[in-house]
């Protein structure tokens, strides 16, 4: 199962962490894993490309782990854009969770 934890402070996303494997299909054909990967990496790449901030990114060497943290020093006008992009990511992940809840779980802290 893929577990996604979103850490918030004052209702803003500060960090999110993805861990585990969906195992909804054979290796290389796991549609849930592919969807979660595309959505999460797409959002991270969008933030990196469209803003001028350095996200703290940790990845597992074998896949199955991603942790992204937003630095505290981001100006508010840029933070609004970062939040919008990452909130969009969460909405997309929740859509996957609705249809494949046996393979993905999202929680907020």
User: Active-site residue numbers?
Assistant: 21, 33
46-78: b or e for each residue (b if 16 or more CB lie within 10 Å)?
bbeeebebeeeeeeeeeeeebbbebeeebeeee
Angle 31-50/76-99 helices, nearest 10 degrees?
A: 170
**What is the torsional sign of CA 41, 46, 47, 53?**
positive
3-state secondary structure of 79: helix
């Amino acid at each position: 199962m893929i577990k996604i934890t979103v850490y918030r402070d004052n209702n803003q996303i500060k960090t999110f962490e993805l861990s585990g494997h969906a195992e909804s299909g054979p290796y290389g054909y796991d549609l849930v894993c592919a969807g979660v990967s595309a959505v999460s990496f797409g959002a991270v790449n969008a933030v990196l490309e469209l803003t001028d901030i350095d996200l703290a990114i940790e990845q597992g060497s074998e896949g199955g782990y991603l942790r992204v943290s937003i630095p505290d020093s981001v100006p508010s006008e840029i933070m609004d854009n970062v939040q919008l992009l990452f909130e969009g990511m969460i909405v997309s992940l929740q859509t996957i969770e609705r249809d494949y809840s046996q393979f993905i779980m999202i929680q907020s802290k």
